[in-house]
Amino acid sequence: MPIPLPNPSVVALAYDGLCAFEFGIVAEIFGLARPEMGPDWYRFQVCAERPGRLTTNAGLAVEVTAGLEALEAAGTIVVPGWQTQDPHPSPALRDALLAAHARGARLVTICSGAFLLAATGLLDGRRATTHWRYADALQTAFPSTIVDANVLYVEDGTLSTSAGSAAGIDLLLHLVRQDFGAAAANSVARRLVVAAHRSGGQAQFIERPVPLAPRSRLADVLDQIRSEPAHGWTIATMAERAIMSPRTFVRRFHDAVGCTPGAWLIAQRVEAARTLLETTQLSIEQVAQASGLGSAANLRQHFAAHVGIPPNLYRKQFQRRVA
């Protein structure tokens, strides 16, 4: 059973003009009742600097009763979008966010929410992302922030930023996975009917996404690779399964997925290794072989590059989450 989080309180920051979709993502993942997750699941609350009736960008209204004092006890604070024209917060809001960060709370933004964190100075010298449409504006307004418009989300210590609205789902599922493990994240993703995990480094903008219906040969090949990561996949074998020439396969793969087949294959094998590290007692060498990464040295190299820590440390951190 998962060990309870030290602070399971998640607080969403509401404001007048609230981004409805982004707020809905946060409420769906953290606020929805999930009795199957047990009594130690997240505790969700909404706060605003000026509690009361707030409007959203969709013409809906939200009634908020809690003020900024709710941030004082939050383990995670989520900013579901923010104004981009005049993003600077009031002194009270700025101080509340800075105090939360200073005591170790996790600050998370979706889409334009990065403007608020940047305006507090917390993103100075740090890498962050936002929707590609706002990336130039964020970089211009806050030149000390290192804006990366080519990724889905960025995690820098206790500060996390995500790209366009749907990328917020990817980031929040990533946090669930960190907090409660792969099985919990997969369960939430299934209920949302979305992919359980997309790497934060995946490209934001994909010109021709892999079609879901009708099924394409390329989509079928991707499913086969995910289910058989240890298979000896090469460009030639992938192309053969897709009934394409290698040259055509590489071109269509990049158009659909946003990266090369080789880079995508390594990322899938790293994800397979993550699951094995979380759910089995296989040795590092056995995990490397079962995930398709071949050797322990190869696993350590690619795992550290994608996840940021070596596999043995990742396993230790996850196993501390298990009773």
Distances 133 to 7, 13, 23, 136, 177 between C-alpha atoms, Å: 34, 23, 19, 8, 28
Distances 141 to 18, 103, 112, 164 between C-alpha atoms, Å: 21, 27, 13, 19
What are the phi and psi torsion angles at 90 (to 5°)?
Answer: -70, 160
Pick the closest to residue 215 from 194, 235, 242 (CA basis): 242
Could you give the domains of the chain?
A: 9-192 (3.40.50.880), 210-323 (1.10.10.60)
Per-residue pLDDT of the chain (323 residues; tens, 9 = 90+): 455 688 999 999 999 999 999 999 999 999 998 998 888 899 999 999 999 999 999 999 999 999 999 999 999 999 999 999 999 999 999 999 999 999 999 999 999 999 999 999 999 999 999 999 999 999 999 999 999 988 889 999 999 999 988 889 999 998 998 898 878 888 888 888 776 555 544 444 433 334 443 447 888 888 899 889 999 999 999 999 999 999 999 998 888 887 899 999 998 999 899 889 888 889 999 999 999 999 999 999 999 888 778 899 888 876 545 44
d(CA 203, CA 209): 11
| Active-site annotation holds for 111 | yes
Q: How many CB atoms lie within 10 A of CB 186?
A: 16
What's the CA angle centered on 168, arms 84 and 17, to 5 degrees?
Answer: 40
Question: Which residues is 161 bridged to in the sheet?
Answer: 109, 154
Question: To the nearest whole number, what is the mean pLDDT of the chain?
Answer: 88
Question: Which residues is 22 bridged to in the sheet?
Answer: none
The pTM assigned to this predicted structure is 0.70
Burial 252-267 (b: 16+ CB within 10 A, else e): bbbebbbbebeebbbb
| Distance between start and end Cα atoms, the chain | 5
Q: pLDDT tens digit string along 49-74? A: 999 999 999 999 999 999 999 999 99
Residue reference for tokens 């994240």: 185
Catalytic pick from 19, 47, 111, 259? Answer: 111
